[in-house]
Structure 1
Amino acid sequence: MWQTLLSYVLAALAAMGNALANVMQRKAGLEAGPDQSFGLRLLWDLVHRPTWLIGFGGLVSSFVLQAIALGLGQLSAVEPIITLEVPLTLLVASRVFASPLGRPEWTGILTMTAGMIALVAFLNPRPGDETNVSHFLYAAAGGSTAATIAALVVVAQRGRTLWRTACLGAAAGTSFGLTATLIKETIAQGEKHGLVGVLTTWQTYTAISFGVLGLVLVQWALHVGPLLAAQPGFTLMDPLVSILWGVLVFGEITRTGAWLFGATLGAVAVGAGVFVLAHSPVLAAVNDAENVAPEAPLTASRASRSAG
């Protein structure tokens, strides 16, 4: 029981790391100038900025805490808790950009938090067996997830700024969801065979690859458009992918019947909270170049205001 509770706490701390990364990396992107094209030169510029490094540190700490949480708890429970990064992003943004939270923000925070608690409580995930998944099932599930990421990137090449940003955010969230599922298997191999098991399983290296891909997609999305457009994809696709993998691939057991109705209501509350918070003026302030660099263009700021 204590392991389950500890996994929840660590997952919440991982969400805090993600929130810090979201705000600080977006701020660094604005400092670099939204008119600069995405590529190796932009990435090289960003890694030399203290603001981006703080965000990257939050992302790394989140990765470590999430890995420990996955080792102690179930994939279907840990990843939904990561959705707390949205209200936490709002709290961090309010501090960084000195924008007070109003009643809509607090309503969204409470709705989303209550929905997440209800979702996990009603599902009540129990352990599966991630170490005995067939190669065929891995190939089918992994191929479908990778194809989803690729499709989202492709459709993000055309359309308006908000559409492109939302698709890239969803691709990043999907990539992180797949990363979490593979980390779960890596940790299981480590518990069985120690360091040798971690270093010899293909899931370790695939998880690293998709984790790096997710990081690149996050930076791409935040450079293309406002955080309010990218955040829902970051947040909702990760737990969705993780729950599907946990139940359909790893065989985690969740409650069924009438319990699913309560879990569905919780999921709807989470989605509603994300929608409300993503349109918060505080998150719009994250995209206000005036708060970061006076000479930076205001393209992202105008997009966020028009979206709100």
Structure 2
Amino acid sequence: MTLADVVSYVAAALSAMGVAMANVMQRKAGLANGPDRAFGPRFLLDLVRSPTWLLGFGGLVGSFVLQAVALGYGQLSAVEPIITLEVPLTLLVASRVFGSRLGRPEWGGILAMTAGMIVFIAALAPQPGDATDVSHRVYLVAGGATAATIALLVGAGQRGRPVWRTACLGAAAGTSFGLTATMIKETIEQGERHGLAGVLTTWQTYTAVGFGVAGLVLVQWALHLGPLLAAQPGFTLMDPLVSIFWGVLVFDEATRSGWWLAPATAGALGVGAGVVVLARSPLLARVNASDEPMPTPATAPT
């Protein structure tokens, strides 16, 4: 493992912490300003004046900066899976902020996600590719396929049971975030080569912004439609999956193959199991929704 890898992994983990801080602090600020208030300009103005909300916003800004640093030093297929640790980190921060204790299921889910992620990254050991030597034709094919996947998931989310629709929209949101990360990778490469002018003149910058906003809208749509348990796996798992596909197939990042795929698969299954367990936590649901009662303290592990 090189120094660049270490910097990338640490920056990705801190980025996940920034997202977790933003989730909890902005949620706390929203509750403090009255969960029953109508959403509008006055409500937004009160939020912006709240030190708690500003702290959360600072965490969000910091997370974007740290993600850019992580992508600048490391590989897309390694950085994005690490950032999914925002889920257990959100629970840990929320347990402190909201005064709730985590029970055995939550601690088990946190352990499964963390251990699974370590095994997954260690087994694949992604190596650098080249994000700047990709033809427009490849971008068109890969980008079109990813955008089509998002459209198909949104379309599938228009009919059926609420849980199915929520799951599809959650997966569409995760796919949007994965595509956003791939575009940021190219933006960072252009910034390193050409400075601010490179960032402002590359089309990937604006594509990243567009799909990032689309992902945020899809998250709110999914949470409005159905339970967090149905939406969270899509939010969390599709992002790294899309990033790995882009990293390996488009940016030529190399990963281990052969028997190394067995522990990598086991690690990925551990992450998935942890996500499902943590999505059941009433405390995480409290952070992501506005119409659920505050969870009662769970029994702490003995």
TM-score interval, smaller chain: 0.7 to 0.9
1:121 aligns with 2:122: yes
Residues in 2 aligned to 1:149 and 1:29: alpha-carbon distance in whole angstroms: 30
Instruction: State the 1:163 CA deviation.
Output: 3.3
Q: Deviations over 1:249-270 (max 9, x none)?
A: 1000000101111111110111
Secondary structure in structure 1 of the residue aligned to 2:270: helix
Residues in 2 aligned to 1:164 and 1:47: alpha-carbon distance in whole angstroms: 33
Alignment of 1:27-106 (within 5 A): 31-33=34-36, 45-46=43-44, 48-49=46-47, 50=50, 54-106=55-107
Conservation of the 8 A alpha-carbon contact between 1:97 and 1:286: no
1:149 aligns with 2:153: no
Alignment of 1:164-203 (within 5 A): 164-203=165-204
Instruction: State the 1:225 CA deviation.
Output: 3.9
Cα distance change on mapping 1:147 and 1:52 into 2, 3 Å:
farther
Cα distance change on mapping 1:269 and 1:185 into 2, 3 Å:
same
1:233 aligns with 2:234: yes
Instruction: State the 1:283 CA deviation.
Output: 2.4
Cα distance change on mapping 1:259 and 1:158 into 2, 3 Å:
same
Q: Residue in 1 aligned with 2:300?
A: none
Instruction: State the 1:136 CA deviation.
Output: 1.4
Q: Deviations over 1:32-59 (max 9, x none)?
A: 559x7xxxx6588456424665544433
Cα distance change on mapping 1:111 and 1:17 into 2, 3 Å:
same
- Percent identity between the two aligned chains: 73
Point out where structure 1 has 5 or more consecutive residues left out of the alignment. Answer: 290-297, 303-308
Q: Residue in 1 aligned with 2:283?
A: 282
Cα distance change on mapping 1:213 and 1:47 into 2, 3 Å:
farther
Conservation of the 8 A alpha-carbon contact between 1:284 and 1:301: no
Residues in 2 aligned to 1:176 and 1:288: alpha-carbon distance in whole angstroms: 20
Conservation of the 8 A alpha-carbon contact between 1:32 and 1:46: no
TM-score by length of 1: 0.84
Residues in 2 aligned to 1:247 and 1:102: alpha-carbon distance in whole angstroms: 38
Instruction: State the 1:235 CA deviation.
Output: 1.0
Cα distance change on mapping 1:288 and 1:81 into 2, 3 Å:
closer
Point out where structure 2 has 5 or more consecutive residues left out of the alignment. Answer: 295-302
Aligned Cα root-mean-square deviation (Å) = 2.6
TM-score by length of 2: 0.85
Residues in 2 aligned to 1:8 and 1:185: alpha-carbon distance in whole angstroms: 19
Q: Residue in 2 aligned with 1:242?
A: 243
Residues in 2 aligned to 1:54 and 1:163: alpha-carbon distance in whole angstroms: 35
Q: Residue in 1 aligned with 2:265?
A: 264
